[in-house]
């Protein structure tokens, strides 16, 4: 039996990828993840603000510092501690020490001159690039068209800049999720990662202040990932990497059955340690053995909606089955 899959044109020995997070920000962790069976690693994101700051510091060219307003002091401090050159060194070390693909990650939200830096990730040796599109429709003056235009502007510029495979990591905040994901998949990118994690906010009733909620994903968040993976996997013209809510090998199996090409994990590694990557792989392999599958391709997408299926009707039937007890 083997768990090899193709993703972004690369061969991975396992469909389970270490998602971008603090866990993928140093070489010791990356080596441990490879030993535990990760199919690929996605490095901790570099933030657009870091790149802009670096451009300004190194070239004194115009950089849109004004965009960041009051948060600029915080950003400047963060950049001082996490310089891009440190990040490039991590890419170099990863390429020197790992045999699995190393995917760079950029967290971005605007179409600015930071894009010219994307090529440097390629030149430093990244096998592919994931763009974490932190573009949220929070601004009441922005229409869905404005938000979607920013996506296409970034993608077009990046495609002109780099030749390595590109994937786009998206949030769930779209009014026309299915249609827009399909359009994205036609824009010359090689993959879409669903979903990005929006920072969750909470309220402290004692101090009467806004605070951050738990940054780790709750297991129930998997259901949304399963739903959209099953709806979209046969409708996209690029690969689909499913992310959010995976807690064990069985969850990996579910997302593959729904049609994901790969599955990304972060929270379960935070909860159980880097070695848990081996448990996830074992869970997948045990299930394949029990079911008599030799290859992932024999069952991947078995439960995905067909390309011509009308998702809204199928979802409605599922809903009626449950709530109206129509059998």
Ligand X SMILES: Cc1cc2nc3c(=O)[nH]c(=O)nc-3n(C[C@H](O)[C@H](O)[C@H](O)COP(=O)(O)O)c2cc1C
Q: Which of residues 56-85 bind ligand X (CB under 6 A)?
A: none
Does 107 contact ligand X by CB under 6 A? yes
Nearest approach in angstroms of CB 43 to ligand X is 9
Scanning 145-153, 215-223, 275-283, 302-310 for contacts with ligand X by CB under 6 A, the matching segment is 215-223
CB contact at 8 A, 60 and 77: no
In 175-221, alpha helices (H): 177-185
Contacting ligand X (CB under 6 A), which of 14, 50, 217, 262?
217
Scanning 15-23, 87-95, 253-261, 277-285 for contacts with ligand X by CB under 6 A, the matching segment is 15-23
User: Rounded to 5 degrees, what angle do the CA atoms 115, 191, 216 make?
Assistant: 85
Does 243 contact ligand X by CB under 6 A? yes
User: Rounded to 5 degrees, what angle do the CA atoms 123, 125, 129 make?
Assistant: 90
Does 21 contact ligand X by CB under 6 A? yes
Does 40 contact ligand X by CB under 6 A? no
Does 167 contact ligand X by CB under 6 A? no
| Number of C-beta neighbours around residue 33 at 10 A | 27
d(CA 33, CA 74): 31
Furthest CA-CA distance within the chain:
68
Nearest approach in angstroms of CB 122 to ligand X is 18
Pattern of binders to ligand X over 119-138, x per CB under 6 A? -------------x------
Nearest approach in angstroms of CB 157 to ligand X is 19
d(CA 210, CA 207): 9
With H, G, I as helix, E, B as strand and everything else as coil, classify residue 128. strand
Contacting ligand X (CB under 6 A), which of 202, 216, 282, 295?
216
d(CA 203, CA 213): 8
Return residues touching ligand X (CB under 6 A): 19-22, 44-45, 105, 107, 132, 169, 196-197, 215-217, 243-246, 264-268, 270
């Amino acid at each position: 039996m083997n768990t090899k899959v193709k993703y972004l044109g690369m061969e991975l020995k396992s469909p389970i990828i270490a998602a971008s997070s603090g866990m993928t920000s140093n070489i010791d962790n990356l080596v441990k993840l490879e030993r535990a069976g990760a199919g690929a690693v996605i490095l901790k994101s570099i933030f657009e603000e870091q790149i802009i700051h670096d451009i300004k510091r190194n070239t004194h060219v115009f950089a849109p510092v004004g965009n960041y307003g009051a948060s600029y002091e915080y950003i400047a401090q963060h950049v001082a501690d996490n310089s891009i050159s440190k990040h490039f060194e991590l890419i170099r070390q990863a390429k020197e020490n790992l045999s699995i693909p190393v995917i760079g990650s950029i967290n971005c939200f605007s179409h600015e001159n930071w894009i010219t830096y994307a090529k440097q990730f390629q030149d430093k040796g990244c096998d592919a690039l994931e763009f974490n599109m932190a573009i949220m429709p929070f601004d009441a003056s922005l229409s869905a068209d404005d938000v979607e235009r920013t996506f296409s502007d970034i993608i077009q510029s990046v495609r002109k800049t780099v030749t390595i495979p590109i994937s786009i990591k998206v949030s769930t905040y779209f009014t026309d999720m299915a249609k827009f994901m399909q359009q994205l998949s036609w824009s010359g990118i090689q993959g879409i990662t669903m979903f990005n994690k929006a920072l969750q906010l909470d309220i402290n009733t004692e101090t009467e202040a806004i605070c951050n909620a738990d940054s780790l994903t709750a297991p129930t968040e998997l259901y949304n990932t399963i739903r959209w993976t099953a709806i979209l996997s046969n409708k996209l013209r690029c690969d689909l990497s499913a992310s959010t809510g995976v807690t064990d090998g069985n969850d990996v199996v579910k997302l593959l059955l729904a049609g994901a090409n790969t599955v990304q994990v972060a929270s379960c590694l935070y909860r159980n340690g880097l070695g848990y990557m081996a448990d996830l792989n074992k869970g997948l392999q045990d299930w394949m053995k029990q079911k008599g599958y030799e290859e992932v391709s024999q069952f991947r997408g078995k439960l995905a909606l067909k390309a011509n299926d009308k998702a809204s009707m199928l979802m409605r039937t599922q809903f009626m089955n449950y709530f109206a007890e129509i059998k």
